[in-house]
Amino acid sequence: MSDDGLDPVIHVPARLRIVVTLAALHDGDTLSFARLRDLIGLTPGNLITHLRKLEDIEYVTTEKTGAGPTAQTSVMLTHTGRAALDHYTTVLRQLLDTASHANHDARPNPRGER
Amino acid sequence: MNTGIDTNGGSDVEDETTMDLQGAAAIVQHTRERARHELEVNYPLLYLAWGLTLLICYGVLWLSVRTQHPYHGLLRTGVGGVIALVGFFSLVIRLGVVGRAMTGVGGHSARQWAIFFAALAAGSTVLFIQAAAVSHAGASRPVTGVLIAAAPMLSLGLVFLASSAVGLNWFSLALGLWLLGVAAVGMWTGPVTILAVYALAGGGGFLLTAAIQSWRRRS
């Protein structure tokens, strides 16, 4: 965890988009590499790199079926990954609330100015 | 555990840009909305397509037999036209509505949809075979006509009713019960009026469900 409590693996734009996209699927569903790439808008190379990082900490699993030109890779968000995203969004919401209150408190009081 | 990913061409520079809290929240919201829009089946559109299929197909069949006195059976042109329409709408539903959301999606949901369409096809086929067998055994044309007309409606009702148990979908449950009720009531109206009842009440049930779901989505 980073100092602010946000998961540093997810707290990267590309990986956040990957995890949120996969979380939109029902539990146990997989998404093909090609469709994920189209939805996220990353190059294949970039997507592979980010998926590897997510695989290393078991947030996603990938499975390759078939061989040659018909080979297909599918990606699935694990329970660990789903829980990590839930925790990430909860912490993010709390941090935004805290920041919002801090800004509100820091604003000069109009009565005090008179 | 990096099995499965083809690393060929993976030479791009990875983007490790960090972001502020507002940026992260915006990414979460935007990506979630886009993923839902792309990956979730548009149920109002699905029910609209089902409703139009029933309305038009049963309507065409009714128009082809409504002037028959006495009733001597469905006309071949009417049946042929309906089969073509059912094929067309099935393709629209399978590819246009469900297929769009399910492209690239595997696992549990894909299997559920495959079983749903297989159950519908198998149920209708068996009920059509039953009508043919009853006709072969000597049943009159009006009796056979009623059984043929009821086959898709019964099949749809039972499949929607059974599928409602999978995800406790109350819309499917209500629709399944409605379709079975329409199927049962329609059978008492005779081989001609049954087609009009199924077109209006069966198709109308789907169209009403589509309207309610669309309204719920927006509110």
- For the ranges A3-7, B59-63, B165-169, the maximum mean pLDDT occurs at B59-63
Q: How far is B26 from chain A (nearest CA, A)?
A: 10
Predicted pLDDT of residue B7: 42
Asked if A11 lies within 8 A of B34 by C-beta distance, the reply is no
Q: Name the least confident of A86-95, B15-24, B136-145, B160-169.
A: B15-24
Best residue in A6, A7, A18, A52 to probe B by mutation, most B CBs within 10 Å?
A52
- Could you give the percent of chain B with pLDDT greater than 90? 30
* Selection from A11, A26, A87 nearest residue B108 by Cα: A26
**Is pLDDT above 90 for A5?**
no
pTM over 0.95: no
The ipTM (two decimal places) reads 0.84
Q: How far is A106 from chain B (nearest CA, A)?
A: 19
Quote the CA–CA distance of B62 and B193 in Å, as a whole number: 7
Query: Which chain A residues have a beta carbon less than 8 Å from that of B36?
Result: 24
Residues 21-60 of A with CB under 8 A from B: 21, 23-36, 39, 43-46, 48-52, 55-56, 58
Predicted pLDDT of residue B1: 43
Asked if A32 lies within 8 A of B15 by C-beta distance, the reply is no
Closest by Cβ to A20, choosing from B13, B31, B110: B31
Q: How far is A48 from chain B (nearest CA, A)?
A: 6
pLDDT tens figures, B98-156: 777 888 888 888 888 888 888 888 888 898 888 889 989 998 888 988 998 898 899 99
- The 3-class SS string of chain A reads CCCCCCCCCCCCHHHHHHHHHHHCCCCCEEEEHHHHHHHHCCCHHHHHHHHHHHHHCCCEEEEEECCHHHCEEEEEECHHHHHHHHHHHHHHHHHHHHHHHHHHHHCCCHHHHC
Top pLDDT among B217 and A29 is at: A29
